[in-house]
Structure 1
């Protein structure tokens, strides 16, 4: 009789969608500039099987001002990146993250008066 090691009883964990280092760089640069401008104060990251979300808050106790989402399954249709406003409206959607984030960079431009 030969002894075999026990088979671990681990359930297969679902693959999670996440932002890579190259994607987090532009997002965090924008976040840092908005914090310096006094517009944003907090953020949250959520990784799920279908979507990765970077949420931006004015205060930690409020609902998010903006959500930057990555949905790889929509890459061929509308682009995998999207920016949503506070009410859930799609502000910009596309395949290029830098182009999608430009809609939020416009918030930094203010008239001098």
Structure 2
């Protein structure tokens, strides 16, 4: 992480390489090993920006949630990189797209913390 429990950049490529590439590989090809890390490149599921945003916000199976680590602009930037650069789709991703799906409570938050 670049800051205190969070990223500070809004560069989608850098965010991808700092937060996603360790598991999904630098070219998004995915990997098998201690687990299965699905490919993000050449993956038709990545055509839906909302699919990616939902996974970033909520996590998925073994992937952690980035709800508290990335703001809306950062999630939009990394989503834009995955959609356009790794897959060649032509989609605009905005912070407003992320805000539509973001919820107040992070996944697996403890209600007793209130």
**Is this a same-fold pair by TM over 0.5?**
no
Q: TM-score when scaled to structure 2?
A: 0.23
User: Quick check: which has more Rg, 1 or 2?
Assistant: 1
Higher helix share: 2
TM-score by length of 1: 0.23
